[in-house]
């Protein structure tokens, strides 16, 4: 699960095992027990710049190909990358945010890359690290009723990630889905690429 942020009156959801962040009064993030979660950061902290780069082991070839002119594809790609962990590349769950950042607007991208967890990663991450593991993530679209109408410059999509944890020793675990991401997307005009401008988790 990943840290969620919203830009300029936007929202940001929390990673599993990671405390909610404060990026702005309007940035939402989820807490495991609340119906809708919001995150923000009063003072941005530098995002670690010494993390390994590379493709996470759980990202499939199909998930690497994203049609930026399709809001469904961009919303799914963003959520998958927020929820996809790899202990060979990440030191904590919200390090995955750097892989989602390219699909965000500049303001949300800056928030994602400055978010710092305020608590320990949590038991799920610790178990995954002991197995030197990674996650795979599939997604389900919809589930909260009909999406609002899509215009040439704005869209909203509901995406539910379904993670599975894997270890190098063959261990697997299926954690509960973190909830449904309500993803807001924008673009400057028809035929231009979509980007995620904000999100919440329900």
Identify whether the C-beta of residue 40 lies closer than 8 Å to the C-beta of residue 23: yes
What is the secondary structure of 7-65 as a DSSP string? TTTB--PPPTTS---BS-TT-----TTSSSB--B-SS--PPPS-SPPS--TT--HHHH-
Q: What is the pTM of this model?
A: 0.75
**With bands split at pLDDT 50, 70 and 90, how would you rate the model's confidence at 171?**
very high
Average pLDDT over residues 69-81: 97
Rg (CA), the chain: 16
- Domains of the chain by range and CATH? 61-201 (3.10.450)
Least confident of 3-17, 110-124, 141-155: 3-17
């Amino acid at each position: 699960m990943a840290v969620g942020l919203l830009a300029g009156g936007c929202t940001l959801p929390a990673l599993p095992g990671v405390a909610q962040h404060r990026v702005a009064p309007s940035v939402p993030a989820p807490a495991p027990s609340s119906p809708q979660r919001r995150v923000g950061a009063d003072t941005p902290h530098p995002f670690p710049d010494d993390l390994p780069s590379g493709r996470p082991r759980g990202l499939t070839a199909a998930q690497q190909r994203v049609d930026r002119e399709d809001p469904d594809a961009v919303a799914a790609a963003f959520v998958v990358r927020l929820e996809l962990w790899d202990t060979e590349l990440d030191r904590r769950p919200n390090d995955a945010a750097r892989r989602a950042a390219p699909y965000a607007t500049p303001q949300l991208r800056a928030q994602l890359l400055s978010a710092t967890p305020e608590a320990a990663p949590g038991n799920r991450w610790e178990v995954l690290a002991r197995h030197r593991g990674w996650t795979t993530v599939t997604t389900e679209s919809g589930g909260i009723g009909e999406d609002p109408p899509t215009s040439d410059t704005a869209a909203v999509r509901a995406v539910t990630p379904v993670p599975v944890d894997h270890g190098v020793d063959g261990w697997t675990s299926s954690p509960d889905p973190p909830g449904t991401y309500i993803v807001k997307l924008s673009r400057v005009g028809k035929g231009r690429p979509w980007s995620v401008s904000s999100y919440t988790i329900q």
